[in-house]
Structure 1
């Protein structure tokens, strides 16, 4: 007679709806904040955006606490572990599609739209839409005639690339230390990874400040400014979430959680962080260098 492993079915949770509310507030607040900022009006959207971020953080803390409690109580079986792996795999796949859409928009603009506006197809439509258009990338002149500057890959972008690549190495060594049950090297390498992630976010904020205050490169700087801030901004958001994930794992490591044979939460965080690093390499090549 076949024996089946138990499969834990959690109770109904309030966290998904709380997360949905938080995401709605972030999206609606961010949109209104940008529009109000352009018009010089009161930034009510900023308060809604901050409320959304606070709601998401509250949801993350509560949901993580529940999952950690269930895991440490021994409620999860091998079948549950397989479900977690499948869920994390599909989540990362959805993130690949998410960034794929933005990279697709960037490639379409560079390969099709810009040459078409420059009249490279032999037509004359560009003479009506934008007579003096120069088909080269990046577009540093907007349709209004305003000029901006392109972000160079040397400097902060290159430093951030080295930082993220180094963080992948330190996280890999942390994973190896966990598999060998070496707790001190595990904590040290994971702590270094978190520190590198925070350094990346600091330098990206510095880069944004430089772009807005000294380069004239903003979200309103035509399609170049749009694609630049959308791609790098969403990546920065993912680095922020990944750093929070790693901080939670670090706290669990200090409490003695995880064993060499049972540590999927750590592995999931590692998957996510390496994915974020790969996305940044693509960003560095296609947004900054080429």
Structure 2
């Protein structure tokens, strides 16, 4: 089969061994794969896959089941999307059957490829780890990103008002159209967020450069969930604020979680989140899809930090 790898900062679409399908797994003929910032890092040699995981890029995909191992609930021909530790940007991928969900009613496969990673990330960090409750106030940094777009919609659906920090007026308008109450545009300072504080939960893919401000913006018993380090890895913090407000600082990753954890996470998405797509309360935020042959252009678009929502690589358009 053909698959996409990142080799010394370049992308290579070439022949790779076809993975075996074992008990409890399914083989998916890939229609499309979502593009995530982790793929950019892996392409550049900065985020290797966990031990034992393929070097093929892609943390989510959609497609059609073409083989189902014993113990799987899926049948050949089922249309699914899946959360992966790697391997989605390929003609085929084999995945733990528990990490796949049916394509939501009314959506095509290309749209569905934009769902698993961002909704799993937003649900894990806002609702499982931060234990977000209805009425609590949320701040999403990088609110127009894929995870931010999913987070805004989930907060709105479950009754928590949400604000954002973004890079432009256009992106702020986009977030407000999704349901954000408001926010600020990044510049020399984010102090405008004080007008909306205090926040009960902050979801932060930036890290060090926002650390001092986050502590000031959080409410008593606030939760600061760090999911990325775009703003650096080392920060000097006033721990008296952390202690005095009883703030919980939570570091979180998803890719290297074990199979059982991911299975339980996907089961929650199926129960609580997936029905909201059929009801029209959640929508994939797919800005653009690219043929797999134009993968380099898609990667550069994501690296520009100008994308609103998600980009998807189309591997087999005939399946959609």
State whether TM-score is above 0.5: no
Higher relative contact order (CA 8 A, sep 6+): 2
Name the structure where strand makes up a greater proportion of residues.
2
Q: Which has the larger radius of gyration?
A: 1
**TM superposition score normalised by structure 2:** 0.22
**TM superposition score normalised by structure 1:** 0.24
